[in-house]
Amino acid sequence: MRKKRIMVIGPSRSGKTTLVNELNNYHGELRRTQDMIYGENTIDVPGSYIENPWMYKHIIAAAQDASHVLILVDQSRCTDVYPHGFARTFTCPVIGVVTKCDLMPENEENCIRQLKMIGVPEPYFHISFSKGIGIDALKKYLFGEG
């Protein structure tokens, strides 16, 4: 049986790769690509997959290898990129993550509204890598560590 990984989905420049690197305990330079990357603990889905509806079938197929799906919304530019009910597509647990939570606090309510519209159940994790907010709580939730 293949190892189940955490799938990370979000629009371009929403902090996916930074989060994936943290979840894989990788601290080298950022690796950006237009292909899905299977890391030690994660599946990094490029933003173009969510920004182009014809790519959804690839996300859904790859999610068969996922233990969890993290759906990211970027608080610094909270735009609606996901279709209504998108989270209900997945059979594994779906977790909502608000990235860059230290930026543009006036967008927080819109980000929460978007996660609810997508069908992501609470709790939601608010993270900021620049301020070190929320990353430990998310890792503890996913891996049972601090």
Residue 145: which pLDDT band, with cuts at 50, 70 and 90?
low
Instruction: Tell whether the model's pLDDT for residue 146 goes beyond 60.
Output: no
The pTM is what?
A: 0.93
DSSP 98-130: EESTTS-GGGHHHHHHHHHHHTPPSPEEE-BTT
- What mean pLDDT is predicted for residues 64-69? 94
Among 109, 93, 113, 91, smallest CA distance to 101 is for 109
In three-state secondary structure terms, 136 is helix
Structural domains in the chain, sorted by start? 5-143 (3.40.50.300)
